[in-house]
Structure 1
């Protein structure tokens, strides 16, 4: 009986841990930070495969295309690398391999990977292709080239219902966006089917729903985020609609850039990257539900959520909100007043002597806390957080897009059952973001 109770408890803990927390540092089943940036996804039977850029060396240069597996999209296991460098080729450690995407060719019973293949100065602007007989490979590199003789930088793949595959890519020095059909082997492109002239788009993905194609992409702003857009068409050949935001424009897609877009029942999942150019390997993942309730895909902002693959639905966790102005201000911290803040107020001049103390209620275990803040700088800020007088942890705060634009970042802390005291920005010389509120979640 004791062993059964231990098993039941362990199962409950694992179930509680299986949530999606955008912006957190996600770890695999071995406890290592997931390295799968600019990712692509493939489902084989009941298993999902996540391919991405391993940026553990904090470099733009090629280290590996990683491969992770999951049956729930929430718990991921790292497998053997799908693609590794080959000296003397366009996939050496001196070159760039980005945004790997894999599709399955039923005619050849073969997995085909496409990726952005480039030199270290991004001057080559090519695609690369590799193939394997199993999802994680290892993949055999076939070569790199310019599709139809034109540039290809950020790219994606789309496999239509009839088995026809398409390359989605930024072309002509990122001045035009193109869609080209692949051959029956998925080894090369055969013809250009659509071009969005003058559309400076990158990081593309397509979802097909009720015979309508939804193209989601960002504009070009380097590693910095911008408002990602959606375009619609009844055919991949177009004509394409004018662009529409998938999130409030001033949030810059909640400080993220699109990587992949996955159908989920009548909904979808936006899968993006929050790039940290100063430490690429520490860049995090921003996944949100996509809802068509308004007729077009719109991101559902969720600090903590989970997905039910069997029903094609998602659940957004609810938490307890504590307004920053309800706490105790210390040092040079001041109250700020503006309609953009929850409750009309926030606390500013945190850090450099300014502190805030909030009393909250915990449930006696590790809990997610989401910090809502404004950082009008173009660079990142951070805040320290101490729980019940313990050691400070540092929470990164990317630019929010303006001094009155609110973003959120998560941090996991262990709280006592009952009353707890959180202290923000104590002992830090730099300024933190202005704190609007926090939300404490009971979902671990």
Structure 2
């Protein structure tokens, strides 16, 4: 064969490959090889310009080589400002693309709440369709679903309006496209007591039928995904900003029957609420990434101060899932792998005694004493230190999910330390102050006093207190990652 004929054949083959790619589920782009990246768990992200990523309550759609992440970007008073869109090939380096929906997109958005936007692609129409929860910006009385569309994934979306699906209230929301191209919208309904699955019209811009309902189960924050022919519906309970126990159900048909709800993760889902589950398909298979929000409202902050909790989902069987905490993840989108690094928990030891910060008797109850005790492998001696912004952290016991707390919000010397259900109180907020030589002081925000072992005792079972800060080794702690 002549070199000209070989060149012609090669060009023809490349054109055929490009045409095949263009007919796949979403618009194609040239795939780029990405290197593995390290992603922190429980932090804010910044985009490639250094600005915070505001994609709270969001979802992801993959188009060609890129993952596009859409989410809430709110005003300081919590009302709707933008749905912002970012893209990344590796899930770590996010490029801001556009505020795809804004207050000026429609009159009813000028004062509103827009929450949990999810974008799906309709291969029949070539349109990207965004579903979201819409309120009036003053209260949560509207409880409506809203829809917007765009011909490009990160273009300006045209707002089509809001409504109550088949007359039902609609709050926390997600959207899903099945293998056969059928679209679905899932929302918390009827004051969050019910959870509905709606089949969408062929253009995905309206509901056609209610195909399944969980009646009275009081679930919200739905995230639906499918693996090996099994549907997983992951949800949270309805406790406002405060995190709670995530639960999931499974089915082999989206219309049911569905299994009973099963717990996953710990009692607070590691201080997060589900937003989305992202399949990451690569050369070594498909991993499933839990994407959760650690809402700043839980500690009294604005939504835009919220953190992101991403974790790999494990599957002990085809119909069960497991979620373990980690300090960080190594994500390889080319391989399709998500690898946890570290447990995400620390052992905290007192300098003068070498003993560990411990919750007495492994109690899970509110007001259980926080003591020093000989170090062991108990989960009541393991702590998750989570940033809440401004240099402050919460210190959360692994076994109970409760926070290190100064009793009764006291500002007095000698006030005892205990564990208590995490909230927004400053008596549960701490600054890790450098004490030198690799040690830290734990300084309470509300009082400015330090965590302290009374009288520099060396004994087991001594309850910690707060006391005016000084240079004593009984106020210095080592943090050892596990």
Normalising by the residue count of structure 1, what TM-score does the alignment of the two structures yield?
A: 0.76
Give the Cα–Cα distance (whole angstroms) in 2 for the partners of residues 107 and 337 of structure 1. 58
> CA 1:87–1:436 in structure 2 vs 1: closer, same or farther (change >3 Å)?
same
Q: In 2, are the aligned partners of 1:383 and 1:432 still within 8 Å (CA)?
A: no
The correspondence for 1:317, drawn from 341, 352, 360, is 341
Q: State the match for 1:188 in structure 2.
A: 206
3-state SS in 2 of match to 1:31: coil
Give the Cα–Cα distance (whole angstroms) in 1 for the partners of residues 261 and 47 of structure 2. 36
Corresponding position: 1:261 with 2:277: yes
Q: State the match for 2:228 in structure 1.
A: 210
- Which segments of 5 or more consecutive residues in structure 2 lack a partner in the other structure? 1-33, 364-368, 373-392, 404-419, 452-463, 465-475
Alignment of structure 1 residues 335-414 onto 2, 5 Å? 336=358, 338=360, 340=362, 373=397, 374-375=402-403, 376-380=420-424, 381-387=428-434, 389=436
Q: In 2, are the aligned partners of 1:322 and 1:437 still within 8 Å (CA)?
A: no
3-state SS in 2 of match to 1:253: coil
Q: State the match for 1:291 in structure 2.
A: 314
Rg (Cα) greater in structure: 2
> CA 1:131–1:438 in structure 2 vs 1: closer, same or farther (change >3 Å)?
same
CA displacement, residues 32-57 of structure 1 (integer Å, 9 cap, x when unaligned): 111110001000011000000003x3
> CA 1:37–1:199 in structure 2 vs 1: closer, same or farther (change >3 Å)?
same
Corresponding position: 1:272 with 2:268: no
The correspondence for 1:304, drawn from 303, 328, 331, is 328
Q: Which moved more, 1:380-389 or 1:60-69?
A: 380-389
Give the Cα–Cα distance (whole angstroms) in 2 for the partners of residues 379 and 321 of structure 1. 20
CA displacement, residues 300-344 of structure 1 (integer Å, 9 cap, x when unaligned): 2111111112222122224998742352379xx996464549xxx
> CA 1:436–1:196 in structure 2 vs 1: closer, same or farther (change >3 Å)?
farther
> CA 1:216–1:427 in structure 2 vs 1: closer, same or farther (change >3 Å)?
closer
Give the Cα–Cα distance (whole angstroms) in 2 for the partners of residues 222 and 322 of structure 1. 28
Give the Cα–Cα distance (whole angstroms) in 1 for the partners of residues 450 and 190 of structure 2. 41
Give the Cα–Cα distance (whole angstroms) in 1 for the partners of residues 134 and 314 of structure 2. 33
Q: State the match for 2:112 in structure 1.
A: 95
Give the Cα–Cα distance (whole angstroms) in 1 for the partners of residues 175 and 106 of structure 2. 27
> CA 1:346–1:91 in structure 2 vs 1: closer, same or farther (change >3 Å)?
same
Normalising by the residue count of structure 2, what TM-score does the alignment of the two structures yield?
A: 0.70
Aligned residues: 368
Q: In 1, are the aligned partners of 2:325 and 2:343 still within 8 Å (CA)?
A: no
Q: In 2, are the aligned partners of 1:231 and 1:244 still within 8 Å (CA)?
A: yes
> CA 1:436–1:73 in structure 2 vs 1: closer, same or farther (change >3 Å)?
farther
- Which segments of 5 or more consecutive residues in structure 1 lack a partner in the other structure? 1-13, 349-368, 390-419
The correspondence for 1:425, drawn from 438, 442, 449, is 442
Q: In 1, are the aligned partners of 2:105 and 2:158 still within 8 Å (CA)?
A: no
Give the Cα–Cα distance (whole angstroms) in 1 for the partners of residues 315 and 95 of structure 2. 31
Give the Cα–Cα distance (whole angstroms) in 1 for the partners of residues 359 and 171 of structure 2. 44
3-state SS in 1 of match to 2:269: helix
Higher relative contact order at CA 8 Å, sep ≥6: structure 1 or structure 2?
1
Q: In 1, are the aligned partners of 2:220 and 2:235 still within 8 Å (CA)?
A: yes
The correspondence for 2:130, drawn from 113, 135, 139, is 113
Give the Cα–Cα distance (whole angstroms) in 1 for the partners of residues 247 and 118 of structure 2. 21
RMSD across aligned positions (CA): 3.1
The correspondence for 1:160, drawn from 170, 174, 178, is 178
Q: In 1, are the aligned partners of 2:246 and 2:269 still within 8 Å (CA)?
A: yes
3-state SS in 2 of match to 1:86: helix
Q: In 2, are the aligned partners of 1:153 and 1:171 still within 8 Å (CA)?
A: yes
Give the Cα–Cα distance (whole angstroms) in 2 for the partners of residues 439 and 28 of structure 1. 30
Give the Cα–Cα distance (whole angstroms) in 1 for the partners of residues 327 and 154 of structure 2. 31
